[in-house]
Homo-oligomer: A and B are copies of this chain.
Amino acid sequence: MTSRRRARRKGKDSRTRTAHSPAFINRKIPFFEFLAETDLQLIEDQSEWLMQEVGLEFQDDPEALTLWRAAGADVTDTRVRAPRGMVRKLCATAPRQFTQVARNPSRSVSIGGDSQIFAPVYGAPFVRDLRGGRRYGSIADFEKLIKLTYQLPSLHHGGFVTCEPCDVPVSKRHLDMLYVHMRYSDKAHLGAITTKERAEDSVAMARIVFGEAFLESNCVILGNVNTNSPLLVDKVVTEAIRVYCGSGQGIIVAPFVLSGAMGPVTTAGSIAQALAEGMMCCAYSQLVRPGAPFVLGNFLSSMNLRSGAPTFGMPEAVMSNYIVGQLARRLGVPLRCGGALTASKISDAQAAYESGDSMHSTALAGSNFTLHAAGWLEGGLCTGFEKLVMDADRLGAYEVLLKGLPLDTDTLARDAYAEVQPAGHFLGSSHTLRHYETALFEAQLSDSENAENWQENGSEDMQQRAFKRWNKLLDVYTPPPIDPALDDALKEFVSKRKAQLPDQWY
């Protein structure tokens, strides 16, 4: 006990823990090969069958059909069918790994291969926090969320619509969101996709930040779009691909499939369908610009078939994460899947169980770009402030896991047994003192005190600690430096475009 106390005192006095902020995770552990080769081939065969026999609809965008026809696909009305093997071959020009350059170059992220990055929830119209309750998101909420994302070391990427700023017209809010990302963070982020013009505004603002020439040979911004499963690709997708990939930037395309609704109720069928949709979009991106950065999304979840409500963190989705990881590696493109997903309305145990199983499998599956890795509540309808920092805390644990076991003579601790006898303890041993500052992950929001101390400290649950933490983070927030001329140029662009655009609220 004496040396335990000694270790504790020493810890309190001398340990100055600084937030470690690697730009991305360099994975050192193997992938979990969930399905056998023959099973993977069955799924791929089903995807090829879908692309050849059923085909995908490419609607409201004749330009897309022209590209497909020129590439040799069978185009009948708006239905595009691709002969077996054609799409996989087209996908081959997409890079296995690429870099998204951030405004702060030390925060540039590698996407693909053995690198993995985490980004917050995307697209929620509502926000929730312990004091303010549930409400529509505002631009003030949005700004806070971007500032928090900037400060959380396990969020490597800013995402984009961390909540919908519902107090700004739909037609203009992309400009405000882009400005907030560019001004209040220096992490890489995504751009708008809802219309072609908004995507173009996103690339235009990125050109202001990085310079026109830089974008020709560097990816600095990506769009993130969903197909309309089953098997429909509308012009939101094809135009976003043309805007982003056409200007040398990247695109993430994620079929959003709830098994039983937008895909077969059987997981195998939904995985194969999502693969076909993703591959067709990848091929299309390579028709637009061979070599364009593409991330294969695969967002599969389940439903409660009594109520029709989507469910998250369930075993079918967990399985699909592991499997789509295998399929993406075989295709040779970076993967986006999973996240810290839940159907819970609040940051309770349900939220954490579901998010935990979802995110554990997402991380192990090798998702290279993980959107929704923090802050997701209510099936994605709500961004939780507490949930954001709680999830981010756990993301730090996945980072440690993905980096693998430090294994050498020193970590095997042979020398420790010269000091520590059977029935002794290692607390004060020189091996422990040599390693204790780095050997074990230290969660910020987990309380490991005994029951008595915990009660004396107010019997707080994790949500209450999280509430304090995000408020404290905002209190100490300092914006990253920015060249005032750049700031002015961004402001000018936003104000000019806002003056040109009508106020539309839907």
- Chain A contacts to B: CB under 8 angstroms: 4-5, 7-8, 11-12, 15, 29-30, 32-36, 39, 42-43, 46, 49-50, 54-57, 79, 126, 134, 228, 230-232, 259-269, 272, 302-311, 313-316, 318-319, 323, 343-357, 360-361, 364, 378-379, 381-382, 390, 394, 397-401, 404-408, 410-414, 416-417, 420-427, 431-432, 435-437, 439-443, 445-451, 454-455, 459, 461-463
Residue pairs across A and B with Cβ atoms less than 8 A apart, 25 shown, are: A5-B308, A35-B407, A43-B407, A57-B422, A260-B440, A264-B411, A266-B406, A266-B431, A267-B411, A268-B412, A272-B412, A304-B440, A318-B397, A319-B404, A319-B405, A344-B446, A345-B447, A348-B348, A348-B349, A348-B462, A349-B462, A349-B463, A350-B446, A360-B360, A381-B451
**Cβ B390 vs Cβ A265 within 8 A:** no
Give 12 new A-B contacts, CB below 8 A, not counting A11-B305, A310-B448. Answer: A8-B308, A11-B306, A230-B425, A232-B423, A260-B427, A266-B410, A314-B443, A318-B401, A344-B462, A353-B356, A356-B356, A360-B360
Q: Distance (Å) between the CB of A420 and the closest chain B CB? A: 6
Q: Distance (Å) between the CB of A469 and the closest chain B CB? A: 13
Q: Complex: how many Å from CA A85 to CA B42?
A: 45
Q: Distance (Å) between the CB of A441 and the closest chain B CB? A: 5
A360, closest chain B residue (CB): B360
Q: Complex: how many Å from CA A179 to CA B269?
A: 50
Q: Complex: how many Å from CA A455 to CA B134?
A: 11
Known: A315-B441, A435-B265, A441-B302. A343 touches B259 (CB 8 A): no
Q: Complex: how many Å from CA A344 to CA B448?
A: 7
- Across the interface, which residues of B come within 8 angstroms of A423, CB to CB? 57, 228, 230-232
- Across the interface, which residues of B come within 8 angstroms of A427, CB to CB? 260-261, 308
Secondary structure at the A interface, as helix, strand, loop or mixed, is mixed
Q: Distance (Å) between the CB of A409 and the closest chain B CB? A: 9
**Cβ B405 vs Cβ A35 within 8 A:** yes
**Cβ B348 vs Cβ A461 within 8 A:** yes
Q: Complex: how many Å from CA A446 to CA B303?
A: 12
Q: Distance (Å) between the CB of A144 and the closest chain B CB? A: 21
Known: A306-B11, A412-B43, A414-B49. A426 touches B352 (CB 8 A): no
**Cβ A7 vs Cβ B305 within 8 A:** yes
**Cβ B440 vs Cβ A302 within 8 A:** yes
- Across the interface, which residues of B come within 8 angstroms of A354, CB to CB? 446
- Across the interface, which residues of B come within 8 angstroms of A390, CB to CB? 349, 353
Q: Complex: how many Å from CA A328 to CA B5?
A: 35
- Across the interface, which residues of B come within 8 angstroms of A43, CB to CB? 407, 412
Partner of A405, one of B12, B307, B323, B432: B323
**Cβ A447 vs Cβ B315 within 8 A:** no
Q: Complex: how many Å from CA A381 to CA B462?
A: 19
Q: Complex: how many Å from CA A267 to CA B390?
A: 25
Q: Complex: how many Å from CA A449 to CA B34?
A: 31
Q: Complex: how many Å from CA A50 to CA B412?
A: 11
A42, closest chain B residue (CB): B407
Q: Complex: how many Å from CA A463 to CA B347?
A: 12
**Cβ A397 vs Cβ B315 within 8 A:** yes
Known: A426-B261, A427-B261. A440 touches B303 (CB 8 A): yes
**Cβ A306 vs Cβ B431 within 8 A:** no
**Cβ B461 vs Cβ A346 within 8 A:** yes
Partner of A309, one of B315, B417, B448: B448
**Cβ B350 vs Cβ A351 within 8 A:** no
Q: Distance (Å) between the CB of A137 and the closest chain B CB? A: 14
Q: Complex: how many Å from CA A30 to CA B319?
A: 12
**Cβ B352 vs Cβ A356 within 8 A:** yes
Closest 9 CB pairs of A and B: A356-B356, A269-B413, A264-B413, A352-B352, A231-B422, A315-B400, A349-B352, A266-B411, A348-B461
**Cβ B413 vs Cβ A261 within 8 A:** no
Partner of A435, one of B5, B266, B272, B345: B266
Q: Complex: how many Å from CA A424 to CA B348?
A: 35
**Cβ A417 vs Cβ B54 within 8 A:** yes
A11, closest chain B residue (CB): B306
**Cβ B401 vs Cβ A439 within 8 A:** no
**Cβ A309 vs Cβ B424 within 8 A:** no
- Across the interface, which residues of B come within 8 angstroms of A436, CB to CB? 260, 265, 305
